[in-house]
Amino acid sequence: MAALAGRRVADVGKLSTILLFLPPALLLFTLFVVLPVGEAAWYSGFNWNGFGKPTNWIGLDNYRFVFDNRAFGTAFKNNLLIIAVSLVIQLPLALSLAIILADRFRGSVALRMVFFLPYILAEIATGLIFSFVYDGDYGLLAAIYKGFGAEAPHLLASPQTAFAAILVVVVWKYFGFHMMLFIAALQTIDRSMLEAARTDGASRWQSLRYVVIPALAPTIRLSVFFAIVGSLQLFDLVMPLTRGGPSDSSHTMVSFLYTFGITRMRVGFGSAVGVILFLICVVFAFTYKRWIMRDE
């Protein structure tokens, strides 16, 4: 009877907690997620410039216009390229540096801060700094080329090199965040496991492969999730560097939405892009959680 009474008290406590915290959370979620997305979905059915009341209903035509737009196809490919670079270059670089800097040695904390500082820097400030670095006439790149007696290229002015220059900034800006995640996870690994592996004759590579990496698996999955979602939402770095140019070659889906939907006053068209981007993010998040992070 005592156990049953204790269980009832616990159930009442859980119910009280739910009733206390769930309504405010649902209210905030409705106000800042459900209603804006629903409003965007409604506006996407109109040919509307944002002034007055939308009246020119065109159904799903805005979605057809989006998929027929060559610049949107380029933006979508660019987002996929950011994801690929993040997974193939950025995360392995972050993991490698984390393994090196996880052990405490003289200067390790200072090195961690040096590598983490780019993440602290605001995206707009980073874009402005690198727009100067890449300047082919007066920037740092120009000074390096002039030191070798050569003429510096204008990377941000060429459709062939503009987005590659942005990718370099993306890696530089965000790898420190993932590095700190990995360092935090490495410091939670039971040292006795590593000592046992070394006692059994395991090499450093074998200890890394069979002990460290499996122990880091949950953090790696989380880091991959952050990298992909962040790549889909990249905007602040693109605008100060290229504004999506030249010739719409460096747009991401968000900068495409801003340029074609907001600055050109095609609110219905931009709303359609926003709905598409929202659906991509939601489908990815639920799929990733269901199949990759289902045990976490």
Rg (CA), the chain: 25
Write down the pTM of the prediction: 0.89
DSSP string, 44-72: TTB---SSS----B-TTHHHHHHHH-HHH
**Amino acid (1-letter code) at residue 44:** S
Which of 184, 186, 178, 175 shows the shortest CA–CA distance to 99?
186
Residues 6+ apart with CB under 8 A from 35: none
CA-angle at 275, arms to 292 and 265, nearest 5°: 145
Q: 57 φ, ψ to 5°?
A: -75, 125
**Amino acid (1-letter code) at residue 83:** I
Look at residue 2 in the predicted model and tell me its pLDDT.
52
CATH topology of domain 44-291: MetI-like fold (1.10.3720)
Look at residue 160 in the predicted model and tell me its pLDDT.
92
Look at residue 1 in the predicted model and tell me its pLDDT.
54
Which of 116, 237, 230 shows the shortest CA–CA distance to 167?
237
Look at residue 228 in the predicted model and tell me its pLDDT.
95
Look at residue 103 in the predicted model and tell me its pLDDT.
80
Cα separation of 177 and 174, whole Å? 6
Cα separation of 5 and 2, whole Å? 5
Cβ count within 10 A of residue 296 = 9
Please state at what angle helix 91-102 crosses helix 162-186, rounded to 10 degrees: 40
Cα separation of 120 and 129, whole Å? 14
At residue 222, the 3 state secondary structure works out as: helix
Q: Given its phi and psi angles, is residue 250 left (phi above 0), alpha (psi -120 to 50 degrees) or beta?
A: alpha
pLDDT tens-digit series, residues 56-74 = 999 899 999 999 999 999 9
Structure tokens of 65? 């216009």
Look at residue 32 in the predicted model and tell me its pLDDT.
85
Centroid of chain to Cα 36: 21
Bridge partners of 57? Answer: 46
With a cut of 70, which residues of the chain have pLDDT below it? 1-13, 295-296
Look at residue 10 in the predicted model and tell me its pLDDT.
59
At residue 15, the 3 state secondary structure works out as: helix
